[in-house]
Amino acid sequence: MERILSIARKLAEAAEVFQVSSRRTPVQFEANRLKQIQTKESTSTALRLVKNGKVGFAQASGVIEPEELVKMALDTSQFGYEVNFEFPSSQSYGHVEVYDQDVQQISIDSMVSLGETVIKAVCDNTPSIICEGSVSHGTATFSIANTSGASARYKRTNSGISIDGMLVRNGDILYVGDIRTSCHPVMDHESITLEIIRQLDLARNNATIKSGTYPVIFTPYGVSGALIAPLISALSGKMVLDGASPLKDKKGQTVLDNKFSFSDDPTLPFQPGSTPFDDEGITARKNTLINHGCITQFYYDLHIASLAGVTSTGNGNRNGGMPSPAPHALVIDGGDRSLQDMVKDVREGLIIEQLMGAEQGNILNGDFSGNVLLGYKIENGEITGRVKDTMVFGNVYQLLKEISALGNDSRWIGGYVETPSIYCPAISVSSK
Amino acid sequence: MLLSHILNLSAKIDNRAGVMKEKLLSALRGQKADYIEIRLDESSSSRLIFRGDRLEEAGRSSSTGGNVRALVRGGWGFVSFNNLDKLTEHVSLAIEQARHVGKEESKFSPVTPVNDIVEASFKKNPLEISLAAKKRLLDEYNQLMLGTPEIQTTSISYGDSKKKVALATSEGTYIEQNRIDLNLRLSAIASRDGDVQQVGLSIGSKGDFSTVENLQEEARDIARRAVALLSAPRVKGGTYTIVLDPILAGVFVHEAFGHLSEADHIYENPQLREVMVLGRRFGGKHLNIVDGAAVPGYRGSYKYDDEGTPATKTYLIKEGVLNSRLHSRETAARMVENPTGNARAINYTFPPIVRMTNTYIEPCATTFKDMISGIKEGVYAKDWYGGTTSLEMFTFSAGEAYMIRDGKIAEMIKPVVLSGNVFTTLDNIDAIGNDLDMNQGGGCGKAGQSPLPVSNGSPHIRIRNCLVGGK
């Protein structure tokens, strides 16, 4: 990194190098048994520089000569945007706990045994189910250095289990599954097993729902699959700057139910999305994006913030290219109602656990439409079975304008979002 | 400057090729496993991203890496890495991991070992066109879209890449395959009174830059359509007779049937093997569905798959009946069928898995006019936005849609998401057109490997009783 920076310093006005090295060991299960053990090592290096006031960018996975990387970045700088921000200077970042050395001690045998224990318990419950999934752990090192003097590095551990079950029954195919992740070793087989068995139990019978408008409860999985994508699109400083966000002129206004609060918090200890600084070396911090229904903050990286005349919110994120604004770890504040209690409240309605195709609608204006891949019918306060061949249509801003209740069942989905169940009075349902 | 740089880079790759073959084969010598393969990747790519009138990214990247995969007594070990110097150690680790897993007999279809070098095929090489010229072209499309009243912003992303993959196996195969791939997505975003609508165009090609040239009319058209969507009504949810254009019908066949044909979903699942028994009827006699990398000239075309199996052309459905499926060497051996050359890995960080290549419905005789003429109320859905499947149920979304009323195309409606069930929807196709067209603008995702270059296509088709999401 130092070499790249020192060569770039001579040829450009400013430069920044970002490097990620990782090693991961996934153990994979197929057809209810151990199938494959993997070891994955990778290193990638990205260089961003400023030449004649314009940005240049190049990136390399694996080995590359520093001179060549600098030359690639210089090549692109003639087309780059004009840079109106400075790379952050030397600073001390607050401590965010994302490293647990015990993760490095996890043995292959204990990962195999964790997966096998969960799969055995699920198969004991439902003998003809076929499970697949993986148990993995890994460590990644993130380093950043720039010509303004910043130089920092941190290590983050990651451990997780993901198990899916497929049940073919009378020509139906049913999917169930769960994921648990942490920076601590994930060793608990019970919570994931119970979640999968809960889904199997609820889906044991089929039920039907007629086309119409019904109350709906999104479980945490349902929320993460259907409602999050349109919200984070609309809250992105980039979409606001471009005028492509329906919330662009709504800052300070209450547009959603006052029970709804939504934040991005990369400082939570031992969450896989947590980090002491973003991918541009800006201190990561908690940003409350929506506070009791009121739009309070959009999220920005350095470049978009400079164009919008604000400061970066510490949301510079690299996803295989130049930094761009993205959230780290999202949290929807929980409520006090149990799922059971919310179900009791519904005379006829729907629980949505998995929505297929939700991201294919016009996310930009908040629409979502999808096939209920896993969802249950509620009749007279009881769950009667699984609905199939059913589509729902909604708009996230209309849906969340009126929330009947938030669950007390908040949980993390994939280390990316923590959410409770959300109960809303009306969604449009189409069925055969 | 740019051009000379690319030529230098290719000289570097070629130089290493001869050395690489010996290096790989020697790392495999004397190692004990039922099967071992080493794959090395070298790629370089460039991309340009616009948001509105800002050029947001002009970037270049390079990648070098490899993997070893070993099979011992039915268990697999897999090691991926950037450092090519420790090949022997990587091979040993992969074998050790496979031994830890394997508890039964390995089953892996034999293929004849080959030694071959496959050069990239292209008509107009995008790597010989300067970044400045590419930017000029995109600028022109961008200005055409931005110049349309009520267009709020645009989004354009262009990428091209050049890739060399070397494969050596313990059976003595050594194959080098080179490919050039490019893709372009144009989106126009219109906005009025808090409503935001977008229309996009995706184009991909196996190395022919001329496919992204001369799109001025298309750029104007997507901008006009995005604006028109602001005042378009929304369809009422429910079941309709729908007509799909060749592009959306291609996405339909990929989602509705292609994925279920991938044998890795089936081979270890006794219930699904019963459901997917060869000879089962899925549709009418007019329905023929094909997948094959041996169909030349498309993004899913290649000579060998990532296990060294030669590409084939496979009839998944012949005259409405399940005829065959897509295999890797392992799924073929376990189902006692022939490998079809469909084992693909998106890059060196993943093992090959069963994937589609070029997937399409073969044309029949119905004209478009005849297809819509008897429909009292239906939906004509065109172009695509996305698609996904759970094998049984699937959704796919149109980029453009119109009502059909009394046999004629009527008002434009907001784009629709459609849904179906593989066990009924294919049988509900009651007309297949005469106008096969292939769409190359998409990428396929499976098991974290996305977007894999594929193509899919179809003539216009009509489906009865299809579920459409809406108010």
Per the structure, the count of domains in chain A is 2
Write the pLDDT tens digit of every residue in B186-195.
999 999 988 8
Closest CB from B153, B196, B469 relative to A369: B469
Closest CB from B101, B389, B397 relative to A35: B101
Q: Quick check: B5 pLDDT over 60? A: no
Residue A178, domain CATH? 3.30.2290.10
Q: Which amino acid is at A167?
A: L
Contact between residue A122 and residue A165 where contact means Cβ atoms under 8 Å apart: yes
Closest approach of B68 to chain A, Cα-based (Å): 10
The reply to whether A386 touches chain B by the CB within 8 Å rule is no
If pLDDT is split at 50, 70 and 90, which confidence band does B4 have?
very low
Mean pLDDT of chain A: 96
In A109-150, DSSP assigns E strands to 130-146
| Residue matched to tokens 């490997």 | B449
Q: Which amino acid is at A393?
A: F
For residue B2, the model assigns a pLDDT of 27
Contacts of A430 in chain B (CB under 8 A): 237-239, 467-470
Mean pLDDT, residues B223-229 taken together:
96
- Which run of H or of E encompasses A228? helix A228-235
User: pLDDT over 70 for what percent of chain A?
Assistant: 100
Write the pLDDT tens digit of every residue in B385-417.
888 999 899 999 999 999 999 999 999 999 899
The reply to whether A309 touches chain B by the CB within 8 Å rule is no
Strand pairing partners for A69?
none
For residue B8, the model assigns a pLDDT of 29
Contacts of B391 in chain A (CB under 8 A): 173
A39 contacts B97? CB cut-off 8 A: yes
Mean pLDDT of chain B: 93
Q: Are residues A414 and A280 in the same domain?
A: yes
If pLDDT is split at 50, 70 and 90, which confidence band does B3 have?
very low
Q: Quick check: A427 pLDDT over 50? A: yes
Pairwise CA distance, residues B174 & B114, whole Å: 6
- Chain A: residue nearest B268 by CA? A31
Pick from B35-39, B135-139, B192-196, B225-229: least confident:
B192-196
Mark which of A156, A183, A200 sits at the end of a domain.
A200
Q: Are residues A295 and A155 in the same domain?
A: no
CA distances from B426 to A310, B121, B289, B318, B418 (A): 53, 36, 11, 13, 14
Task: Please spell the DSSP secondary structure of B311-368, one letter per residue.
Answer: P-EEEEEETTEE---B--HHHHHHHTS---S-EE-SSTTS--EE---EEEEPP-SB-H
Question: Domain ranges in chain B?
Answer: 2-230, 238-468
A168 contacts B63? CB cut-off 8 A: no
Write the pLDDT tens digit of every residue in A124-154.
999 999 999 999 999 999 999 999 999 999 9
Q: Are residues A131 and A179 in the same domain?
A: yes
Q: Are residues A281 and A421 in the same domain?
A: yes
Both tokens of A114, joined, read 């964790």
For residue B17, the model assigns a pLDDT of 54
- Which run of H or of E encompasses A329? none
Both tokens of B126, joined, read 């995008």
Q: Quick check: B6 pLDDT over 60? A: no
Both tokens of B451, joined, read 């977007």
Mean pLDDT, residues A267-295 taken together:
97
Q: Are residues A181 and A211 in the same domain?
A: no
Contacts of A127 in chain B (CB under 8 A): none
Measure CA B240 to chain center: 28
Q: Are residues A195 and A218 in the same domain?
A: no
Q: In a 10 Å sphere around its CB, with 0-12 CB exposed, 13-18 middle and 19+ buried, how is residue A1 labelled?
A: middle
For residue A363, the model assigns a pLDDT of 87
End-to-end CA distance of chain B: 56
Residue A108 sits in which domain range?
Answer: 2-200
Q: Are residues A307 and A363 in the same domain?
A: yes
Contact between residue B329 and residue B309 where contact means Cβ atoms under 8 Å apart: yes
Using the CB atoms, write b or e for A239-256: b if 16+ within 10 Å.
Answer: bbbbebbbbbebeeeeeb
B55 contacts A365? CB cut-off 8 A: no
Contact between residue A154 and residue A45 where contact means Cβ atoms under 8 Å apart: no
The reply to whether A170 touches chain B by the CB within 8 Å rule is no
Contacts of A43 in chain B (CB under 8 A): 82
CA distances from B130 to A72, A78, A379, A424 (A): 13, 12, 64, 54
Torsion sign (Cα): B326, B332, B335, B337: positive
Contacts of B465 in chain A (CB under 8 A): 432
Contacts of A431 in chain B (CB under 8 A): 467
If pLDDT is split at 50, 70 and 90, which confidence band does B23 have?
confident
The CATH number that domain B2-230 falls under is: 3.30.2290.10
Q: Are residues A188 and A250 in the same domain?
A: no
Q: Are residues A21 and A166 in the same domain?
A: yes
Closest approach of B51 to chain A, Cα-based (Å): 8
Mark which of A144, A172, A200 sits at the end of a domain.
A200
For residue B102, the model assigns a pLDDT of 96
Higher pLDDT, B75 or B390: B75
Q: Are residues A244 and A376 in the same domain?
A: yes
Q: Which of A:215-234 have CB within 8 Å of B? A: none
β A54-61/B54-72 pair status:
parallel
Pick from A15-29, A185-199, B114-128: least confident:
B114-128
Write the pLDDT tens digit of every residue in A1-58.
899 999 999 999 999 999 999 999 999 999 999 999 999 999 999 999 999 999 999 9
Q: Are residues A376 and A250 in the same domain?
A: yes
Closest approach of A50 to chain B, Cα-based (Å): 13
Mean pLDDT, residues B10-14 taken together:
37
Contact between residue A37 and residue B97 where contact means Cβ atoms under 8 Å apart: yes
Pick from B339, B319, B352: nearest CA to B449: B352
Q: Quick check: A366 pLDDT over 70? A: yes
Contacts of B80 in chain A (CB under 8 A): 38-42
Contacts of B198 in chain A (CB under 8 A): 362, 364
Q: Which of A:111-150 have CB within 8 Å of B? A: 128, 130
Q: Quick check: B101 pLDDT over 90? A: yes
For residue B194, the model assigns a pLDDT of 82
Q: Quick check: B422 pLDDT over 70? A: yes
Write the pLDDT tens digit of every residue in A241-250.
999 999 999 9
B81 contacts A370? CB cut-off 8 A: no
Closest approach of B70 to chain A, Cα-based (Å): 10
Write the pLDDT tens digit of every residue in A259-277.
999 999 999 999 999 999 9
Determine if the peptide bond prior to B451 is cis (ω within 30°): yes
Q: Are residues A430 and A349 in the same domain?
A: yes
B101 contacts A62? CB cut-off 8 A: no
Mark which of A177, A200, A223 sits at the end of a domain.
A200
Mean pLDDT, residues B219-238 taken together:
95
Strand pairing partners for A431?
A390
Rounded to the nearest 5°, which phi and psi values hold at A140? -130, 140
Pick from B45, B77, B51, B33: nearest CA to B186: B51
pTM of the model as a whole = 0.94
